[in-house]
Structure 1
């Protein structure tokens, strides 16, 4: 799939997922996780991981060719490429949890 046809996934990571002092580590974690995610589901998506300082913003945001998609549009996109968005998000959450656990084990 060409880069312009891939879905871009912006994930805002809560500092609290790294424990009570997570705000001290969230920037470093996102930078490390970003590097790990460059190999995850690359046939479908590009990833952007960033701290979630503003809780009014969605945790996950999708776009294609720099056009923001609603969740319904993202669901339709995944259906068109023969994938299930819920399974995609679950695999991502599992990967993120694994990265968090690895990060915390090294801290």
Structure 2
């Protein structure tokens, strides 16, 4: 396909991950904004040649936990999977890795 990395921003996969305040404990709402900034910095380098990360609080439960876009267009699960395959990534593994990383970051952030 002849991709040259890193991709320009508009071609990158924007991964929006919404973190529920409750993940940070009973007073999570007091910490969620700071944690999201902390997590964004911590994951910024992960697959950064073709992924742009957005880590944000999930105040609205009607919004999906994870959302994928490229060129400002939402991608459904199948299209996100096809996108990642170009980079030899599997969507399920990609999501699991992010979940694991965020669990570690929550522990670090809370000083556990």
Same-fold status (TM-score > 0.5): yes
Cα distance in 1 for partners of 2:52, 2:15 equals 6
Check if 1:48 corresponds to 2:48: no
Cα distance in 2 for partners of 1:78, 1:35 equals 22
- Using structure 2 for the length normalisation, give the TM-score: 0.88
The total of aligned residue pairs comes to 106
1:96: which partner in 2?
102
How many angstroms does 1:13 deviate by? 0.3
1:68: which partner in 2?
74
* Cα displacement string for residues 53-91 of structure 1 (whole angstroms, at most 9, x for unaligned residues): 000100000001111111121112122332100111111
How many angstroms does 1:11 deviate by? 0.5
Segment drifting more, 32-41 vs 87-96: 32-41
RMSD: 1.3
1:31 to 33, 37, 41: 37
Structure 1: gaps spanning 5 or more residues: none
- Using structure 1 for the length normalisation, give the TM-score: 0.92
* Cα displacement string for residues 9-38 of structure 1 (whole angstroms, at most 9, x for unaligned residues): 000001000001001100111011111111
More helix by share: 1
Off by >6 Å, runs of 4+ in structure 1: none
